A and B are shown apart, each in its own frame.
Chain A
Amino acid sequence: MSAPEAPPAIPAGHKAAERRLHPVTPLRRAWAPFTVIAGWAAHDPGQAQQQLTRVTASTLLAVLAALVAAASLYGFLSWRFTSFAVTDTELRIRTGLLFRRTAHIRLDRIQAVDVTQPLPARIAGVAKLKLDAIGTDDKDELAYLGESEARALRAELLARAAGFAPETAHEVGEAPMRRLLHVPPGMLAISVLLIGTTWGSLLGALVVPTLVWFGTHSVWSVLVAGVPLVGGAATRSAGRFVRAYDWTVGESPDGLRIDHGLLDRAHETVPPGRVQTVRIVEPLLWRRLGWVRVELDVAGSSNSVLVPVAPRALAESVIARVLPGVTVPAALSRPPRRAGWCLPLWWRGHGLAVTGAVFATRHGLLRRTVSLVPHAKVQSVRLTQGPWERFRRVADVHVDNGAGKTVQARLRDAEEAAALLYAQADRSRTGRRDARPDRWMAS
């Protein structure tokens, strides 16, 4: 994918131009004093009022002005001292007013790129760009960049990470996206209502105030106990809905695109070959409707939901795009019946299937979860057996992936497990050979 016609005239020094964040950035620090005061007033209204009546309006204004000025100065200075540069191989972020800190993020080790826009940032037309690589922390994000700049930078980073020639990386631009799935709002709303936690918190919100009423016979205490519970349950469910609103999964040569959010917009990109594990979660109440949620593990990344809700067939077609050549195994084999002595009832929920491409296990009886680990992503395989399990001649096989998670095939027949251990180690070794390279366009 190199471009031989590109002129080699670009001087080497050109590549590492230091860039600054968007000039709006200092403003986000200037709000700090107001939020602190508002938080204090909300936390302790009586005390706050007392204090406020004591000081005159002019002193209050002066103090506020001083605080805002100090915060703005700090914001301005930290903006002034923050810069970033994209070189051929890395993204370099310099931060720190007193203690200088430089983060070097290797582009070929990028696990995901997120562009997020909280509501205020959307109004201001700016966005936050975060690179997930192994071992990065929250400080390694670029907040804020102009909206179009963030998109252009994301495209450039991905182009460079993909292995396009450095001269053409600017011009490659945004890769075209093909939409794989869109979650309709109605379906999302129903799915949120059908989650056990929603009902659980609603139940709690009904039971606790009733008990309080019988205990105290005071309306006031019922309100004190009930309002936060109802409010909490409502905000949790509403939050789930708002976060997952307009959830779109797309596919582009850059990798997987996930766009979502009603108020805060987020645009995530997972380059090809970065997905370590895919989980299909099926809550109890969704089973009649045949809906599932799909989660994924990417090393160094905190986002985990791939599809908040979708019919099973559609979800499986998305998975087939995310993990090329993988089909979700239809039948998983259960542990032997004697495993019931080790884990009564719940042993029936466990299952295992190994296909040419993935190690798939299932657990959970009410809320079923199927985990798929591509063989190429297995870091190590372990077999464990406790005394009781040995008595019943069963053993557990654990498969550790690169995102620091472990997938277990529990309660397998001991001989089967021992064979599985070696076979899985072999498969994970050979599975790597036909995996795509880190620079996915370079091959």
Chain B
Amino acid sequence: METGSAGRDGEPVWRGLPPGLLRMRRLLLVVWLGLAALVGGLLLALLAGPVWALFALLPLAALGWGWVLLGRNWRSWRYAERADDLLISRGVLWREQTVVPYGRMQLIEVASGPVARRFGLASVQLHTAAAATDATIPGVDPAEAERLRDRLTELGEARSAGL
């Protein structure tokens, strides 16, 4: 049931983000840091000497660290549609959980850049009248994004409340 996804006794049904998002982020990380290591290493080797080229290992170390961080961060993101509000939870060290009642949504934005499209991803962002509301789902399937958008719009209209 679409409308009753709140589950029994109000326990929300959490959904994670698709693995495609993690793949995309890791690919971008590898491309940029790999490039940095390569260019840095070459330049240092040519201009300063081969020993200095060891500094090119720094971006590689950052790469390994970032690889793990991205995984942890990706796992931490999840969202749930309850009967009356949307929950978004994220963060590993600095955790944040946002609750937006459907009636308060002013605008729902679905966006996807060229790389995200290549990986079959789209981001969904919710705006309320409060600028501080930061409710973004960074990447979901385009089909899921559309489903979310339609459902949120419909629920937002049904439960609409002003300021």
A interface, CB within 8 angstroms of B: 111, 134, 274, 276, 299, 376-377, 379-387, 390, 398, 400-406, 421-422, 424-426, 428-429, 432, 435, 438
Which of B10, B96, B128, B129 contacts A384 (CB under 8 A)? B96
Pair B163/A380 contact, Cβ less than 8 Å: no
- Inter-chain CA distance A377–B132, complex, in Å, is 14
Q: For the complex formed, measure the closest distance between the CB of B83 and the CB atoms of chain A, giving whole angstroms.
A: 10
Pair B135/A380 contact, Cβ less than 8 Å: yes
Pair A380/B103 contact, Cβ less than 8 Å: no
Query: Is B162 an interface residue when CB atoms closer than 8 A count as contact?
Result: yes
Pair B100/A385 contact, Cβ less than 8 Å: no
* A384-B163 contact given A134-B129, A400-B130, A406-B132, CB 8 Å threshold: no
Chain A residues with CB under 8 Å of B65's CB are: none
Pair A404/B132 contact, Cβ less than 8 Å: yes
Query: Is B57 an interface residue when CB atoms closer than 8 A count as contact?
Result: no
Chain A residues with CB under 8 Å of B129's CB are: 134, 299, 379, 402, 404
Which of A377, A425, A429 contacts B163 (CB under 8 A)? A377
Query: Is B95 an interface residue when CB atoms closer than 8 A count as contact?
Result: yes
Pair B99/A404 contact, Cβ less than 8 Å: no
Q: For the complex formed, measure the closest distance between the CB of B161 and the CB atoms of chain A, giving whole angstroms.
A: 4
Chain B residues with CB under 8 Å of A379's CB are: 100, 104, 128-130, 133
Pair B163/A382 contact, Cβ less than 8 Å: no
Q: For the complex formed, measure the closest distance between the CB of A202 and the CB atoms of chain B, giving whole angstroms.
A: 37
- Inter-chain CA distance A379–B162, complex, in Å, is 10
Q: Which residue of A lies closest to B104 (CB)?
A: A379
Chain B 102-124 residues near chain A, CB threshold 8 A:
103-104
Number of A-B contacts (CB under 8 A): 91
Which of A134, A387, A406 contacts B94 (CB under 8 A)? A387
27 A-B Cβ contacts within 8 A? A299-B129, A377-B163, A379-B100, A379-B104, A379-B128, A379-B130, A380-B99, A380-B100, A380-B104, A380-B133, A380-B135, A381-B98, A382-B96, A382-B98, A382-B99, A382-B133, A383-B95, A385-B95, A398-B132, A400-B132, A404-B130, A421-B97, A421-B99, A424-B99, A425-B84, A429-B84, A429-B159
Query: Is B34 an interface residue when CB atoms closer than 8 A count as contact?
Result: no
Q: For the complex formed, measure the closest distance between the CB of B39 and the CB atoms of chain A, giving whole angstroms.
A: 35
Chain B residues with CB under 8 Å of A134's CB are: 129, 163
Chain A residues with CB under 8 Å of B135's CB are: 380
Pair B85/A387 contact, Cβ less than 8 Å: no
Query: Is B93 an interface residue when CB atoms closer than 8 A count as contact?
Result: yes
The 3 residue pairs across chains A and B that have the minimum distance between CB atoms = A400-B130, A379-B130, A425-B99
* A390-B95 contact given A379-B133, A400-B133, CB 8 Å threshold: yes
- Inter-chain CA distance A277–B150, complex, in Å, is 32
Pair B95/A276 contact, Cβ less than 8 Å: no
Q: Which residue of B lies closest to A377 (CB)?
A: B163
Known: A111-B163, A134-B129, A435-B161. 16 other contacts (CB 8 A): A376-B161, A379-B128, A379-B133, A380-B130, A380-B133, A380-B135, A381-B99, A382-B99, A383-B95, A383-B98, A398-B132, A401-B130, A421-B99, A424-B99, A425-B84, A429-B159
Chain B residues with CB under 8 Å of A398's CB are: 132
- Inter-chain CA distance A428–B101, complex, in Å, is 8
Query: Is B48 an interface residue when CB atoms closer than 8 A count as contact?
Result: no
Q: Which residue of A lies closest to B126 (CB)?
A: A380
Chain B residues with CB under 8 Å of A385's CB are: 94-96
Chain B residues with CB under 8 Å of A390's CB are: 95
- Residue in A377, A422, A429, A435 with the greatest tally of chain B CB atoms within 10 Å: A429
Pair A276/B163 contact, Cβ less than 8 Å: yes
* A383-B97 contact given A402-B163, A429-B103, CB 8 Å threshold: yes
Chain A residues with CB under 8 Å of B104's CB are: 379-380, 428
Q: Which residue of A lies closest to B102 (CB)?
A: A429
Pair B101/A384 contact, Cβ less than 8 Å: no
Pair B161/A432 contact, Cβ less than 8 Å: yes
Chain B residues with CB under 8 Å of A406's CB are: 130, 132
* A384-B94 contact given A379-B133, A404-B130, A406-B130, CB 8 Å threshold: yes
Query: Is B158 an interface residue when CB atoms closer than 8 A count as contact?
Result: no
- Inter-chain CA distance A404–B98, complex, in Å, is 16
Q: Which residue of A lies closest to B134 (CB)?
A: A382
Chain B residues with CB under 8 Å of A384's CB are: 94-97
